[in-house]
Structure 1
Amino acid sequence: MVWPRRSFWRSAQYFVKRALRLTATPHAIAAGVAAGVFASFTPFMGFHFFIAALLAWCVGGNLVASALGTAVGNPLTFPFIWGATLETGRLILYAGHEANVAPVHIGRMLRHLEFSQLWQPLIKPMTVGALPLGMVFAVFFYVLTRWATITFREQRRKRLAERARRRARAQSLGPRTATS
């Protein structure tokens, strides 16, 4: 169910082309993708689409682009994102004093449904760490998406103009006879 039928590269290309072909301004598309990327860094699994949509609405981004941007958080990238946000959050909150951080037994907490005890050791540092990392990646993806959208549209405009020139030239020559 998770593994794509063709390849991950083909799936990534599909998401990129889908975002570039949206009918919105380059800013709206880029802001939407950036909102989705930022939402992917938060530890609130199951709410990424809602967070991305809310952020996209606040910054004038495209809602579909925000949903596509959440694809940055996927089974391949989540372990890296979670590790980075946890360590960044711990560094910010505890200023390198790891002695204050008790070891976490996630399996035992989840078996006994002690979600309130997950806040201090995991969710709080991951949320704090998600803010700077999410912002950095959101800005990166905003710039990349805006540039890609503008470039894609310019190349498409040139391609369509060249096709129109060829059609006009063919029509001006008139119908060709069988002897020519």
Structure 2
Amino acid sequence: MLFRRRKPVTISERLRAFLWPRKGFRRGPRYIALRVLRLASTPHSIAVGVAAGVASSFTPFFGLHIVIAVALAFVFSGNLVAAAITTALANPVTIPMILTASYELGIALLGLESAHAASSADVMRMVEHLDLSALWGPVFKPMLIGSLPLAAVGALISYIAAYHAARIFQKRRPARAKDFGPSP
């Protein structure tokens, strides 16, 4: 083989790389941020796209985050690529926290008593029997209601941060390009 390793990777090395990546945990988010900032668009358009992606990440509609983000960005004239990229906020690490926060906030906003809230065993039983209509009241409705304020706050914060970051990045970009340009 042309690109085969001389010495195969051991199981312990694979496990270590899975638990602690060789390049660190900051590399992925930094790459996503630079990818968004390098888009050829106005700072407002980029910020609207980022806000749409973040807002859709707070919804409980898994599998539809990109579709929702792109639709929101299209309606509000945001950058569609920025919207699609920033839906990566909802990932296997953050989804349990987002769902818990939206559920608890939904319970508080709806004023439900803890007796009306479903226990985790009840939820698992309903999911196993595909009783989705029974899940609407105790689970989906509070989660949807709770996700709306979280999405609005997340979109507002991410819009402000992305707008300023894109404006600063685009202002500094010509100076950096001049520094690395062709030498005379």
Q: TM-score category by the smaller chain? A: 0.7 to 0.9
Alpha-carbon shift at residue 93 of structure 1 (Å): 0.7
2:116 aligned with 1:100? yes
Alpha-carbon separation, structure 1, partners of 2:63 and 2:36: 22
> TM-score w.r.t. structure 2 length?
0.82
Alpha-carbon shift at residue 22 of structure 1 (Å): 0.6
Larger relative helix fraction: 1
Q: How does 1:122-161 map to 2 (within 5 A)?
A: 122-161=139-178
| Counterpart in the other structure of 1:112 | 129
Q: Which has the larger radius of gyration?
A: 1
- The residue identity in structure 2 corresponding to 1:40 is S
Q: How many pairs were matched up?
A: 164
Alpha-carbon shift at residue 99 of structure 1 (Å): 3.5
Alpha-carbon shift at residue 69 of structure 1 (Å): 1.3
Please say if residues 118 and 139 of structure 2, whose CA atoms lie closer than 8 Å, have aligned partners that are also in contact: no
Structure 1: runs of 5+ lacking an equivalent: 172-180
Alpha-carbon shift at residue 160 of structure 1 (Å): 2.7
2:43 aligned with 1:11? no
| Counterpart in the other structure of 2:103 | 86
Alpha-carbon separation, structure 2, partners of 1:8 and 1:118: 36
Alpha-carbon separation, structure 2, partners of 1:17 and 1:47: 24
Distance 1:13 1:63, change over 3 A: same
1:36-78 deviation line (CA, Å, top 9, x unaligned): 1000111011111111111111111111100111111111111
Please say if residues 117 and 138 of structure 2, whose CA atoms lie closer than 8 Å, have aligned partners that are also in contact: yes
Alpha-carbon shift at residue 112 of structure 1 (Å): 1.0
1:14-51 deviation line (CA, Å, top 9, x unaligned): 11011001111111111011101000111011111111
Distance 1:61 1:107, change over 3 A: same
Please say if residues 53 and 66 of structure 2, whose CA atoms lie closer than 8 Å, have aligned partners that are also in contact: yes
Alpha-carbon separation, structure 1, partners of 2:74 and 2:22: 33
Paired residue secondary structure (1:82) = helix
1:112-145 deviation line (CA, Å, top 9, x unaligned): 1112211111111111111111110111111111
Structure 2: runs of 5+ lacking an equivalent: 1-17
- The residue identity in structure 2 corresponding to 1:100 is H
Please say if residues 117 and 139 of structure 2, whose CA atoms lie closer than 8 Å, have aligned partners that are also in contact: no
**Identity among equivalent pairs (%):** 44
